Structure 1
């Protein structure tokens, strides 16, 4: 089976994820590919927001000179949620290696 073409709407980073996930999971159905594209477009949106927040800072001044959270913080959060929701719909949940005992793993 041939790997489907990478959607032109994706950034270079997201296109790399497309190729990697296609190679690993062989998402062959149209609905699955659409979900993957949606996930990666959300990934791109999240990255764009992160870039603007990094440039401007997490706190910006409003028109009255008062500090307020960067307006893109909520857009970043929403894009991350959309990404995770689409990956979950594809059954591509991130697997976390369990560690023995309660609490955080050592060294973190």
Structure 2
């Protein structure tokens, strides 16, 4: 009789090597604290990449400032401002999707909108 290895036992996936060391540590912490399925791992990777992207943009902004002077001597916002903002939003949304805070994902109720929602100017 042949004995087959149980292939359903999954190893803990390693953090993607392109992530920053601090982000790889966060990856390992999340996997140690939560039981994630395959699709969650992809969301976790996207969240980690968004975090790294935001941190990279933050480093440029710390070094170069939030604006630069164009050829007409007019101040312009650095592209990293938008990159950082978009990465932060993506990170926050991905964390909500993963429900790492213990609240169920999309089915969880959100805070109600304020009475003046849509009427703001």
Q: Same fold (TM over 0.5)?
A: yes
Counterpart secondary structure, 1:10: coil
Q: Which runs of 5+ in 2 are unaligned?
A: 1-9, 104-121
Aligned length: 94
TM-score normalized with structure 1 length:
0.78
1:10 alignment partner in structure 2 = 19
TM-score (ref. length: structure 2): 0.70
* More helix, by proportion: 1
> How far off is 1:2 after superposition?
4.0
Give the Cα–Cα distance (whole angstroms) in 2 for the partners of residues 94 and 61 of structure 1.
46
Match of 1:62 in 2: 70
**SS in structure 1 at match of 2:72:** coil
CA deviations 1:7-32 (Å, max 9, x no partner) are 122111110110111111132x1100
Which structure: larger Rg?
2
Q: Distance in 2 between matches of 1:39 and 1:51?
A: 18
Aligned partner of 1:86 in structure 2 is 94
TM alignment of 1:17-56, pairs within 5 A: 17-27=26-36, 29-56=37-64
